Structure 1
Amino acid sequence: MQILNFIQNKTNLPSKGIENTIQLLNEDCTIPFISRYRKELTGNLDEVEIGAIVTYKMQFEELEKRKITILKALEEQDVLTAELKQKIEATTDLTVLEDIYLPYKKKRKTKAETARKNGLEPLAKIIMSQNATDIHSIASKYKNNAIETEEDALAGARFIIAEWINERTDVRINIRYQLERFATINSTVVKTKEKDEKAQKFRDYFEWNESLNRIPSHRLLAILRAEKEGFIRIKIEIDNERALSKIEASIIRSNNNCSSQIKLAIQDAYKRLLFPALSNEILNASKEKADASAIKVFAKNLKQLLLAAPLGEKTILAIDPGFRTGCKVVCLNAQGGLEYNETIYPHAPKNDSLGAMKKINSLVDAYKIEAIAIGNGTASRETEQLIRKMRFNKDVEVFVVSEAGASIYSASKIARDEFPNYDVTVRGSVSIGRRLADPLAELVKIDAKSIGVGQYQHDVDQVKLKSSLDTVVESCVNSIGVNINTASVSLLSYVSGIGPKLAENIVKYRDEHGAFTSRNDIKKVARLGNKAFEQGAGFLRIKNAKNPLDNSAVHPESYVVVEKMAKDEGCTVANLIGNKELLQKIKLEKYCTKKVGLPTLKDIIGELEKPGLDPRETAKVFTFNQNIRTISDLHEGQLLPGIVNNITNFGCFVDIGIKESGLIHVSNLSDKFVSDVNSIVALNQQIIVKVLEIDIARKRIQLALVK
């Protein structure tokens, strides 16, 4: 099968779009570049559709690579027939391919192999022919030094038959079908761990039974984690009698001594070979599905977090609050540069609130502070209350900012390189302030797993998780665009076609030669060739450039089109930008060429109407209920303001201003059935919730969505 047919069967996308996308991918084009600037070739495929093509392209290549390995192995064994080769080449499923290869695989020492060495394979063939009437008499002829009795001979022959049965594709397909349809997962507590304090969060699964094909992903991952930590044991079960009868019906066609021996071999094959292997296979497949679901949830959350509303280029005073160690305060300029840092001690044990307020006031005046960012960790509520009591000489907005991952950043090489002369406490405060200014630019510096959104992120396939999250970050960065003169190495490394090394070279060039003044200057960066420029230029912005298109998403390859439009309208490119009335009058068909069609032209007009506009909303101030400090202050029926801080398949968690986040179970999100939590709420959304239940001992809060 050709790759085009393989992908089309998996996606149902137009063949021409698939074919051209494959060609572009083979030319090292990135997903953001293809979806944004090659719409004519792809038939206007979006990032998700192109991502699917990438996934199935990799699957096809893996399948073809495995076929080559198997065919080579079969040739070396001198067992490759034309029919077998055709069967292998026609296979489109990796599991089926491995089933075909199974009888020819080199095996470790097995009971069947020992029986063959003892000369029992002819006896096994006689039994499988199902024609012999006195199999015990025939078996007695196979006695030798290693085979002392006819029962030993029959037992050895059954081992060989069991192996044959295990290698039959039809048998394996049948058992797989029953596992996929009817398997249950059962868990029981390890008695010695039943009272273990750490085991209590898994106590729901001390005695559990559920259909494997219906179990929600989060529950399966929780059960597997509990097993991994040694608190429970799990088993996969199906109706063994039904499974055995299905195998017998497909093999046994007589009613004699041979059939009784085959029946015993079937039982052995099922118990020793088929069920252990295929039940593990189905559990691994279920785990893969659960991983995919969890990774999808994580990716959705991460995208919302990265695209959270920025405050923009403002002067910010950021506070990393604390009690005994004090509150770490930093002042940042509008570009996020560190101007000043100090520690204040407004809380116990020093309780110098007056001195702290005086210092904050002086810093707000001295550094012309426009906003204050307070981390949401220890002493956050106390610090927020202190700041909100203050009266400044100008309007200063106060925000509470998530600290998730800030400590990871502050101890990282990235932070050390940015602030080599400051300790982790100062770096953490800077990160809090920068997150308010631009969440995307700051969060790309942190390992996405440490940001604290998603479910069971440490239990899923880490390679697939990283690949998915990297794709999300790349998509977000390129959808917004990057100011090449202010972006960090971390942010630049996610720009289409750039990567970590070229990002370092860009910053090095910027440090040595000053700010870039045009997109053409980018070509002067060491090792940044034509391909990297083609892939990345449209996503890099240069403010106040001589050519205004350099601060837009219009790709340099299309500048000539815009220039022609301006000339035809009797104005400059600068006059054209932002002039919606004039732009709407342009007849786009006039500018269509073999390479530039209506999709690209419509994108160009859309960008010229609002060049470089950040599609994100602006950050809004939010205030928690000031009377709620701890879980003990809650009572059932309360209505509270909150912020959605995590979304899972079973509901969402809400920050209501205390240490513990509350859970809105999916059943409490709406009066109607909710299949997708993201269709009701979004990460960082400000909502009103109702307290349904408080479990102080387990530190759990059940909430319902009000609005």
Structure 2
Amino acid sequence: MAPGFYVIREFSNGLRFGEASPELMNSTMEADGGWASEKWNFLLIDSTRNWRNMTHPFSPAMIEKYVLKVTQELKLQPRQVAATAMLLEEGATVPFIARYRKERTGELDEVQITSIRDRLEQLVELDKRRESIVSSLEERKLLTEELKAKIDGAETLATLEDIYLPFRPKKRTKATVAKERGLEPLADILWAQDATTDPVAEAAPFVDAAKEVPDAEAALAGARDIIAERINDDAEVRAKLRDLYLTKGVLKSKVALGKEEEGAKFKDYFDWSEPAATAPSHRILAIRRGESEGFLYSRLTPPEEDALTIVENLFVRGKSPAAEQVRLAAQDCYKRLLGFAMEAEARIFFKKKADEEAIRVFAENLRELLLASPLGQKTMLAIDPGFRTGCKVVVLDRQGKLLENEVIYPEKSTREQVEAAEVLHSLVKKHHIEAIAIGNGTASRETEAFIRKIKLPTSIPVVVVNESGASIYSASEVAREEFPNHDITVRGAVSIGRRLMDPLAELVKIDPKSIGVGQYQHDVDQNALKRSLDDIVISCVNNVGVELNTASKHLLSYVSGLNSRTAASIVEHRDANGPFKSRKELLKVANLGPKAFEQAAGFLRIRDGEDPLDASAVHPERYELLNNIARDIGATVSELLKDGVKRNKIDLKKYVTDDVGLPTLNDIMQELAKPGRDPRQQFEAFSFADGVEKLEQLQPGMKLPGIVTNVTAFGAFVDIGVHQDGLVHISQLSDQFVKNPADVVKVGQKVHVTVMEVDLARKRVGLSMKSKPEAAPARKPGEKRQEGNSRDVDRHRSGNRGGGGGGFGQVDWFTAAMNKKH
């Protein structure tokens, strides 16, 4: 392919590629090397540019293959996929493409763009492996035109590896030993399956004691080993068996010998069997965990007769003596080679499928947690409650800066309770406290009761805050850097207060895996999990927008186009030069070039800056357009921001160009109406039921308020204020049939539940959200509290949510003393 520009055109029956005409070049080409037309179905490509970091310039054939493949799989238009691919190659981020390049992509959303990105990367990796295989075969002089065509036509990694398998350098096998003994000619004779062949007679000449072939049967056995390896290397049989394992494979698990008592938590799986294709992700992951911990062993196999039928039908012809030898070899191949290989592949396949579902659930939960309603900038008193070590109290200013910290012991003597109350009253008065945050860990309900009984101003909201992950933050390098002179208890209390102010800004400092809103998150592919969760954090941060002059470097690092280095440079520049007055000042920041500015600027906000548009999501590249629009109707941009009547005079169609369409213009108008709007919901205070603070106080039939803390494939966990989350089984989520719990509930959602059952011994609570609750069905295997939930580990293994003995039992009778003082 000669260097130059080529055009992809979309027709009803597919794509066509060819050189771009001078007329097309002159009328449509832009300097960036690629251009997608909204009016015409084509994309212009510069063939000299490397695509997706490939080692060679992309060709029309490669583009056609990638674009059409992704188009068909994702049910999108070729132009959309091709345009997105070009933008990604140019270094654009997913949030930037979704927000500011709608015309080029046909208004694809972040999910679609991410899917295109991921699939393109998979295809690139597939081609890299393809190239590696071709190179290996060429070096060994094994590549033929027919083999090259098969390799080029392979659409999956499994198919590609099946084709390559016969040519892979092999370890010493039974077949190689048989070949060394000169038995391959005998294998060829049997393989032909001639009806007149006498296997024993044909084997006689191959008997040779010196070669360790003592008799005819030994010769035939060696020949069968060679045939078995041939069958094992056959791509067609592997494809058919792979399909059988994936469609009819049965997952079975048994308890390991002598592990019945020690592995009791996996007792549901001591004798378990179900079709792998329909097994829920949490069940597959639970069995794998039990296996990895040594309590279970499992197999994943289809009916053996079905597998043998496939193998024999492909390779055995007739019922001659030679055919019977091939039949024996085929059976041996399946039981010794193919069966184990296919089982390993199937286990990997279903593990990946389970991982994807678990990661999807975790990502959905994380998004809801990150986008939880912020209380906003308030002078905050935050408490990390505790019994033995006391309650850690901190005061934060409206920007979350630590002003003061104390430790109180309201659970001890009356004197210390009075002292604790006096400390709190003093801090509230001294700092004009506007809100109180209490962590939901140990002694949470007791601390809340204490706070409410010491008669602080009723105008101050008291909010119980999910502290999951706060302990991780307090011991992290991030926290040590921020508070080098304070211990982890103070840092934890600060995190609780800040999380109430702005959950997103605080949670980005914590490894998402530590937040504890997933299922079996420690068992899934950690690289895939990290990428998915990072995508969610990036999406949420850019969806909300970031205040440039107050954001931490950790929050800034998730902004489109920025990274930890450029985020640190922004903070250093801000500290040295004072607040940014305009977005364009970002170009003065070290390590931040024009491309990073383009990608980041629209997601950064400057309140009360020189240009009012800097407080909005309008991208600086559209400021000139907006100034022209304002001038055309005899107004200023500032007036457009304030005056809806003037905005209504704008005829958007007049400003549509090839570069700016109605989607972008409508976005701009929405920003003018509500500049810098926060997409998160308004904060609403929540309170648990009074007088219900311990598991022992629960009774079936009680109706209680609660907050959803985790959504899984089999239901939702709900905090009802008793130091132990209850489970609303999927069958109890709604009066209607529920296929996916996430369709009904979200993490952080406030709900009302009915207590169905209480198991004090196992610390389990069954709940229902039905209007007319009925007895829940027996819990299916795997539908239990997840070990991976860090909040559960903290709360139940270490007793971190208190309750029961050791509580603030003396609060009631010391209240009289407090009433006299306040």
Q: TM-score scaled to structure 2, two decimals?
A: 0.85
Alignment pair present for 1:87 and 2:153 = no
Structure 2 SS opposite 1:191: coil
* 2:125 paired residue among 58, 62, 70: 62
Alignment pair present for 1:7 and 2:67 = no
Alignment pair present for 1:358 and 2:358 = no
* 2:647 paired residue among 583, 592, 602: 583
Instruction: Check the 8 A contact 2:259/2:295 in 1, yes or no.
Output: yes
Which runs of 5 or more structure 1 residues have no equivalent in the other structure? none
* Aligned match of 2:798: none
* Aligned match of 1:116: 179
Instruction: Check the 8 A contact 2:735/2:770 in 1, yes or no.
Output: no
Structure 1 SS opposite 2:277: coil
* Aligned match of 1:49: 112
Instruction: Check the 8 A contact 2:732/2:770 in 1, yes or no.
Output: no
After TM superposition, give the deviation of residue 262 of structure 1 in Å.
Answer: 0.6
Instruction: Check the 8 A contact 1:324/1:349 in 2, yes or no.
Output: no
Alignment pair present for 1:170 and 2:233 = no
* 1:295 paired residue among 343, 359, 366: 359
* Aligned match of 1:39: 102
* Aligned match of 2:601: 537
Q: Decide which moves more: 389-398 or 442-451.
A: 389-398
- Change in CA separation of 1:610 and 1:59 when aligned onto 2, cut-off 3 Å: same
- Change in CA separation of 1:526 and 1:160 when aligned onto 2, cut-off 3 Å: same
Instruction: Check the 8 A contact 1:345/1:351 in 2, yes or no.
Output: no
* Aligned match of 2:86: 23
After TM superposition, give the deviation of residue 79 of structure 1 in Å.
Answer: 1.4
Q: Distance in 2 between matches of 1:185 and 1:90?
A: 33
* 1:72 paired residue among 135, 141, 145: 135
Alignment pair present for 1:641 and 2:716 = no
Q: Distance in 1 between matches of 2:350 and 2:689?
A: 43
Structure 2 SS opposite 1:241: helix
Instruction: Check the 8 A contact 1:332/1:339 in 2, yes or no.
Output: yes
* Aligned match of 2:757: 693
- How high is the sequence identity, in percent, across the aligned residues? 51
Q: Distance in 1 between matches of 2:115 and 2:734?
A: 32
Equivalent residues in 2 for 1:236-635, closer than 5 Å: 236-348=300-412, 352-393=416-457, 395-635=459-699
Q: Which amino acid aligns with 2:218?
A: D
Instruction: Check the 8 A contact 2:549/2:574 in 1, yes or no.
Output: yes
Structure 2 SS opposite 1:291: helix
Q: Distance in 2 between matches of 1:77 and 1:126?
A: 28
Greater than 2 Å deviation, 4+ residue runs: 348-351, 390-394, 578-582
Deviations 1:120-154 (A, max 9, x none): 11111110001152121111111221122111111
Deviations 1:333-388 (A, max 9, x none): 11111111111111137872211111111111111110000000111111000111
Structure 1 SS opposite 2:520: coil
Structure 2 SS opposite 1:83: helix
After TM superposition, give the deviation of residue 596 of structure 1 in Å.
Answer: 1.1
Deviations 1:379-426 (A, max 9, x none): 111100011113234610000001100011011111111111111111
Structure 2 SS opposite 1:594: coil
Q: Which amino acid aligns with 1:467?
A: R
Deviations 1:38-70 (A, max 9, x none): 001001111011011001101110110000000
Q: Distance in 1 between matches of 2:312 and 2:559?
A: 60
Instruction: Check the 8 A contact 1:182/1:238 in 2, yes or no.
Output: yes
After TM superposition, give the deviation of residue 173 of structure 1 in Å.
Answer: 1.7
* Aligned match of 2:741: 677
Instruction: Check the 8 A contact 1:642/1:654 in 2, yes or no.
Output: yes
Alignment pair present for 1:155 and 2:218 = no
- Change in CA separation of 1:412 and 1:629 when aligned onto 2, cut-off 3 Å: same
Instruction: Check the 8 A contact 1:328/1:425 in 2, yes or no.
Output: yes
Deviations 1:101-133 (A, max 9, x none): 010011111111111111111111110001152
* 2:766 paired residue among 696, 702, 707: 702
After TM superposition, give the deviation of residue 242 of structure 1 in Å.
Answer: 2.4
- Change in CA separation of 1:349 and 1:245 when aligned onto 2, cut-off 3 Å: farther
Structure 2 SS opposite 1:577: helix
Deviations 1:271-308 (A, max 9, x none): 11100010111111001000000000000000000000
Instruction: Check the 8 A contact 2:702/2:755 in 1, yes or no.
Output: yes
Alignment pair present for 1:223 and 2:287 = yes
Instruction: Check the 8 A contact 2:315/2:330 in 1, yes or no.
Output: no
Q: Decide which moves more: 543-552 or 576-585.
A: 576-585
After TM superposition, give the deviation of residue 16 of structure 1 in Å.
Answer: 0.6
Q: Distance in 2 between matches of 1:677 and 1:76?
A: 54
* 2:248 paired residue among 164, 182, 186: 182
Q: Decide which moves more: 449-458 or 177-186.
A: 177-186
* Aligned match of 2:272: 208
Q: TM-score scaled to structure 1, two decimals?
A: 0.98
Q: Which amino acid aligns with 2:189?
A: I
Q: Distance in 2 between matches of 1:581 and 1:283?
A: 63
Q: Decide which moves more: 382-391 or 437-446.
A: 382-391
Instruction: Check the 8 A contact 2:191/2:322 in 1, yes or no.
Output: yes
Q: Decide which moves more: 279-288 or 565-574.
A: 565-574
* Aligned match of 1:126: 189
After TM superposition, give the deviation of residue 680 of structure 1 in Å.
Answer: 1.1
Instruction: Check the 8 A contact 2:633/2:649 in 1, yes or no.
Output: no
Equivalent residues in 2 for 1:656-675, closer than 5 Å: 656-675=720-739
Q: Which amino acid aligns with 2:703?
A: L
Structure 2 SS opposite 1:213: helix
Q: Distance in 2 between matches of 1:236 and 1:88?
A: 29
Q: Which amino acid aligns with 1:112?
A: A
Instruction: Check the 8 A contact 2:174/2:225 in 1, yes or no.
Output: yes
Q: Distance in 2 between matches of 1:45 and 1:584?
A: 27
After TM superposition, give the deviation of residue 706 of structure 1 in Å.
Answer: 4.6
Structure 1 SS opposite 2:400: coil
